[in-house]
Amino acid sequence: MDVYDLFSSCRKGDVCRVRYLVEQRDVELNVRDKWDSSPLYYACLCGHEELVQYLLANGAKCEANTFDGERCMYGSLNESVRRLLKDYKCISVRAMQRDDFSYFLHALLEQGPHGDVKFLVHGRMFTAHRCVLSARSEYFTDMFETKWKGKSSITLKHPLVNPSAFGAILQYSYTGRMDIDISLVEDCRRLAKQCKMELLIDQLENKCKQLYEFVSHKPGICVKVLSLDPHSCQLQEEMAQLADCALPIELRVGFGELPFNRVDRFPTYPDICFRVDGFNFLCHKAFFCGRSDYFKALLEDHFSEGEQLQTQPSTPVITLHNISHEIFTHVMYYIYTDDTQLTLYFFVLHPQLIAEVSFDVLCVADMYLLPGLKRLCGKTLAKTICEDNVLYMWKTAKLFRLSRLEDQCTQFMAKIIERLVERAEFAEIIKEDAASVEERQETDSVPLVDEIRYHITGNVQTYSAIEEANQKLEALEELLCSINIYC
């Protein structure tokens, strides 16, 4: 419903609603409908200049000479929108930060922190990580264990290996994206075949066909850059193999059961060991430092006093306290894949137990400075909201600044408000929320009350719905009067 609402609001030009959906409901900006159209395309098509400006500033994709860029340009209603698109340069780092994992992968590729291998391709140097390339391609796995074994610097001299095409293959391996000049598509296809990347070959063929059909029906349009969007499921599954391999053998039951799993014959070249509850997790500094400032500070300051792993003397060991190995496993999977195993509990555990596990992970995510994991916990907790725990959930959302969970709680409160007003705890929460408003006057609004009123009156269209909404509002007003709050 949120995605449908986003497309509808973009067609209407409702900037406030789009801002709410993006910033409060965490709706993906670059989602596509069944016609392969994005929210930005509809905003351009309908000529909503202010909305186009907001979408571009928040990471909507529209690079020049690409399919998305040319399509938006061609479909723009007026010149002012076209001018905005022409002035648009590229997705900025600030915009990319909305998607934690994409920004991390981009930085891992561009900056190469903790890289352990370098490729020299006809004068151009590329820094990379053996663990990432091995996870994404069996060709690299085999080469690192045979021809390139023990090498930290590799020179590729073959005349058919184009440096720009090789860079595009690395970009795809790290981010799932690819931005390449049309003239280099065949070079990329050849390298992808060599690296046994069947999915990439299929994506290239489908995108070329799509571009050909688009350009053939739009005279005057010239697409010079081919862009592939991430195939997120494939990327996550292959990165998850690194987490599978990091798990101690004793804990692998129930985890790492992906199709065609390569754990038993898949070296990942770990460079850090976390000891939790006596179990050794063999991990990678590049992932933990890049995803968490907590781990970055811990790893950079801890080496002088850390012990070494006996089986791998070059690998430092850091013991983590006040966390169970079960919770650390969830954290580790999130760091490698931007997802966690919390949703698996819905098939085996009671909702109350799910909420308890999610809350434990949430506390650790807050301590380890992992805002994306906090949001995932919030989504899981939202599925367990009921009449008995909605007030506790709302307090949790406020405490950990989970705006979407907070909104879902107030939405649920609005549905059951006639029963909720009878609970003394609800009255106390309203008083506390009113007291938290800085320099609040007697008749000033109370945020919680405003949100509940909004959800009660939202989408009211029939007479019966209006009558029901009025009854709910009356029940809420009676409670406010009884506790001497007028707003």
| CATH code for the domain of 279 | 3.30.710.10
- Of 366, 382, 398, the one marking the end of a domain is 382
Q: CA-CA distance, 311 to 223, in Å (whole number)? A: 54
| Per-residue pLDDT at 291 | 93
Using the predicted structure, report yes or no on whether residue 259 has a pLDDT greater than 50: no
CATH assignment of the domain containing 86: 1.25.40.20
Say how far apart CA 454 and CA 34 lie, in whole Å.
31
Q: Given the structure tokens 């909702």, which residue do they identify?
A: 351
Pair (242, 210) in one structural domain = no
pLDDT tens readout for residues 332-360: 999 999 988 665 554 455 667 778 889 99
Average pLDDT over residues 98-121: 86
Shared-domain flag, residues 138 and 172: yes
Q: Are 208 and 223 in contact (CB under 8 A)?
A: no
Final residue before a domain boundary, out of 91, 115, 145:
91
Residue at token pair 């999130």: 334
The domain in which residue 18 lies consists of: 2-91
Highest mean pLDDT among 250-259, 269-278, 447-456: 269-278
Res 92: pLDDT: 40
Give the angle 85-61-370 at the CA atoms, nearest 5°. 135
As a whole number of angstroms, the distance between CA 402 and CA 425 comes to: 21
On average, the pLDDT of the chain sits at: 84
336 located within any domain: yes
pLDDT tens-digit readout, 127-143: 999 999 999 999 999 99
Q: Are residues 203 and 115 in the same domain?
A: yes
pTM for this model (two decimals): 0.77
Q: Which of 418, 419, 435 is nearest to 483 (CA)?
A: 435
> Does the residue 55 lie in any domain?
yes
Query: Predicted confidence band at 257 (pLDDT cuts at 50, 70, 90)?
Result: very low
Asked if residue 276 is part of any domain, the answer here is yes
Do 68 and 177 fall into the same domain?
no
The number of residues making up the chain comes to 487
Same domain, 243 and 190: no
Please tell me the least confidently modeled range out of 186-190, 317-321, 322-326, 402-406: 402-406
Least confident of 73-77, 252-256, 414-418: 252-256
Is residue 487 domain-resident? Answer: no
